[in-house]
Structure 1
Amino acid sequence: MKKTILTTLSFLFLAITSCSEDSRYSGINDDGPVNEEPDVLTPGNVRSYMVDPNATAETVALFYNLKQLSKTKYLVGQQDAFTGFYNNAGGDSDMKKATGKDPALLGSDFMFITDDQNDGTPSNWFYQQEQLIIDDVKEAYGKSMVNVFAWHLREPFEGETFYTSEMTEQQKQEAFASILPGGVNHDYYKAKLDKIASVLNNLKDNNSKLIPVIFRPFHEFDGNWFWWGAAYCTPEQYKQAWQFTVQYLRDTKNVHNVLYSFSPDNSYATSGNYLSRYPGDDYIDVLGMDNYGDFANGSATGVTIANNKLKMVSDLAKEKVKIAALTETGFTVTSGTSPINNFFANNIYTAMTANNVELAFVMFWANNQDGYYVPPAGQSNTQDFVQFANKAESVLQDTVPNLYAMP
């Protein structure tokens, strides 16, 4: 966007225009930048825009501060940043290896925590993973980072997979309906929510205060690779499951340290389609989008398409007074794939900032032994990521503001 600088009173309408590094502001006055739209959200009314009006003070502050942050900056995060390393290198996060800084956002998953094989005993591998995840969340919170939980929930019949490619046709067609109230696996689903509630209600810092998290269940629901995908449940069934999940955690299990994130994949280009499975403003805090596909070939057209979709999400978040985010993205580099030139500093950055898009965070997917989404030090595209991390809008752990207290 261009800024207009007023010169003298006698030439009130004569302006000098210049490109702004922050594309989301227009105009200046003696006090600095002026946002184009008045701020509807205030410290006094913030709870009225949240899913949980009884949320903890820290969770309320997180909602308010992320919304304010998104006007000028975004948090940079990575899934499993403390445990997922390229070549299993270990040590500092791969992002810190590249930039000297940890991410501002840590992605975790309830998958192992709610696995059928997690029997809660110290020798159990799944329980050990649960403890590692909890320790990582506490470490991240201690560093003022934000914690986000996905949930790759295993299907309720065999409890072995979340991918429809590994399920029978009957399982695919019946799994989602079976977890709804009255369904044959509804009690099974409630037991999984009981486990999540237990973890969240015991997730406390050194001062015994509950740690806020962003929870994004049933993500990428517009695709068909997960058993909660659009081919396997109606819009009304999806909304019902979401509403039940929130009500059960919030009202039955008294979980009050959660912001709830709506996170389809990238198939929705219009607000009408995006909202086709939307459970309602009373059940959503974060409007997200996962998007790998539009960035996959590195084309300028793909970046423009991604930006248009994020613009749609951002505008909806402004209208509904919610938080907008790029909830998953990236491009995996392996021994068989080369990096995309300027993937971070140009493609991701442009998609996230052009056309007055306001996003609170971006989450890159996890690194592992065989590939990376965030390049550690020494890779051919490490400097590309460093340039992205050094953008004025990018926030890593060393510059993350206090998001857990009201200003």
Structure 2
Amino acid sequence: MPDSDDGSVVPGPPPAQPVDRQLTAGALVLFRFLHRSAGRFAMFGHQDDTFCHHATDADSDVLAVAGGYPAVWGFDLGRIELGWSANIDGIPFDDIRREIRRAHQIGAIPTVSWHSVNPLTDGGYGENMAAGSVAAVLPGGAAHGRYLGWLDRAADFLLSVCDEHGEPIPVVFRPYHEHTGTWFWWCPGSSVEATDTTPDQYAELWRMTVHHLRDVRGLHHVLYAYSPDRSRISMSSDATRRADYLYGYPGDGYVDVLGLDDYWDLDQDPTAHTPVDRHADLVTMLSLVGRLAAERGKLAAATEIGSPGAFAAAYEGPSAAPGAGDAPWTGYLLSAALANDDTRRVLWYLPWRNSEEAAGGGAYGTPAPGSPYAPDFRAFVRSDFMRLADTLERPLP
């Protein structure tokens, strides 16, 4: 341990320990690789990269624009809980299984979110909230047994995704994301706006999920990512930011990755803040996540982000932050990633899918071929600090 100025011993950060002390060999290699990589580089990720693209001569807009696939591939399990053959976006689970294998084969890292329906009403987007939802799925609740069945379906899928040797492929699982918001059934909200679910109930839901997947179903190839929504985190003080970020936190023994879903600081709406202020807030939030990860022996990631290109299109003139106009990826996002030692700890940045309905909006993902932001995006992912799959040198188990 380092010595302080007065000669006393200053405790260092805790050693990195996975949520699952029985990780498979491959998952343990991934866990150690990520911790060794923190601060050295960041990886570019993309949701549904090969399922959702505009390029006609490639199965990926990232590949078409930058010459390589993302280093982190995002997938979603929404509707696995209902036993459907395809997910919330109509992508067959057999295809998702195939693409997770493909990502693994090229050295990319799969991460899996879960937009499940409401366990009381089966309502999806726009109808996902209902009073008492979390209480109902906790032990003793009316929907507890049904919900364990949902967890079993998710477990069955994750166990079914194996490599050529029959070993389950390591994944980063990101359930119950954006819980500081008010739009999903699992959300307790935040100090800005609470729901009927308490933070303790959310934490209990998370711990119950880890216990069931890890200890009951024997999933030992999973890292668990926690990802509050940025828009409901108060910027009034560092103490408030920390409290809002950790609202409902299930404890260090149940989280491997401290993530952040941030559309707020990379949004297309120019009315709320100037680009200079937004950029400063982005740096502040990335710094917070990186610092908390260092303090707690965790990994840090920008688990969902908005599109800097869509954000930049709304701004011109002297109020623009560096790169907010013609270089949103390098000037705006990369400069934030490189701002300080804490932001450098953020290990990946994952924009959402390149869907037609999101084109021109803040949730739209990466530039397609022909976009005015394509050259800047290429410079971003090919910068010395960023990694695509073809520049990510991962050790084998």
| Segments ≥4 residues shifted beyond 3 Å | 37-41, 88-91, 123-128, 337-340
Alignment partner of 2:389 out of 371, 376, 397: 397
Q: Secondary structure of 1:172's match?
A: coil
Does structure 1 residue 345 correspond to structure 2 residue 330? yes
Does structure 1 residue 59 correspond to structure 2 residue 32? no
- C-alpha distance 100-76 of structure 1, shift in aligned 2 (>3 A): same
1:257 — aligned with what? 221
Alignment partner of 2:253 out of 278, 282, 285: 282
Q: CA deviation at 1:276?
A: 2.5
Q: Is the 8 A contact 1:113 1:127 kept in 2?
A: no
1:69 — aligned with what? 37
Within 2, Cα distance between the matches of 1:364 and 1:70? 20
Pairing 1:127-206 to 2, within 5 Å after superposition: 129-161=92-124, 163=125, 165-166=126-127, 172-206=130-164
Q: Secondary structure of 1:134's match?
A: helix
Q: Is the 8 A contact 2:155 2:217 kept in 1?
A: yes
Q: CA deviation at 1:39?
A: 9.1
TM-score by length of structure 1 reads 0.81
- C-alpha distance 124-180 of structure 1, shift in aligned 2 (>3 A): closer
In structure 2, list runs of 5 or more residues that go unmatched.
1-9, 190-194, 236-240, 316-323
| Equivalent pairs, count | 352
Which amino acid in the other structure matches residue 31 of structure 2? F
Q: Is the 8 A contact 1:83 1:90 kept in 2?
A: no
Q: CA deviation at 1:150?
A: 0.6
Q: Deviations over 1:239-285 (max 9, x none)?
A: 00000000000000000000000000113352232222110010000
Within 2, Cα distance between the matches of 1:392 and 1:332? 19
Q: Is the 8 A contact 2:112 2:171 kept in 1?
A: yes
RMSD: 2.5
Q: Deviations over 1:355-377 (max 9, x none)?
A: 21211111111001242420021
Q: Is the 8 A contact 1:295 1:347 kept in 2?
A: no
Q: CA deviation at 1:127?
A: 9.6
Does structure 1 residue 359 correspond to structure 2 residue 346? yes
Q: Deviations over 1:157-181 (max 9, x none)?
A: 23231x3x325xxx62122221111
Q: CA deviation at 1:189?
A: 1.1
Greater Rg by CA? 1
1:108 — aligned with what? 75
Q: Is the 8 A contact 1:113 1:126 kept in 2?
A: no
Q: Deviations over 1:136-174 (max 9, x none)?
A: 10000011100000110100123231x3x325xxx6212
Within 2, Cα distance between the matches of 1:191 and 1:343? 44
1:79 — aligned with what? 47
Does structure 1 residue 228 correspond to structure 2 residue 183? no
Q: CA deviation at 1:117?
A: 5.2
Within 2, Cα distance between the matches of 1:254 and 1:109? 21
1:24 — aligned with what? none
1:217 — aligned with what? 175
2:65 — aligned with what? 98
Q: Secondary structure of 2:201's match?
A: helix
Within 1, Cα distance between the matches of 2:366 and 2:25? 33
Q: Is the 8 A contact 1:239 1:277 kept in 2?
A: yes
- Seq. identity, %: 31
1:30 — aligned with what? none
Q: Deviations over 1:333-362 (max 9, x none)?
A: 78xx76962221121112222121211111
In structure 1, list runs of 5 or more residues that go unmatched.
1-36
- C-alpha distance 89-306 of structure 1, shift in aligned 2 (>3 A): same
Within 1, Cα distance between the matches of 2:331 and 2:276? 10
Within 2, Cα distance between the matches of 1:395 and 1:377? 20
Q: Deviations over 1:9-35 (max 9, x none)?
A: xxxxxxxxxxxxxxxxxxxxxxxxxxx
Q: Is the 8 A contact 1:214 1:258 kept in 2?
A: yes
Q: CA deviation at 1:38?
A: 11
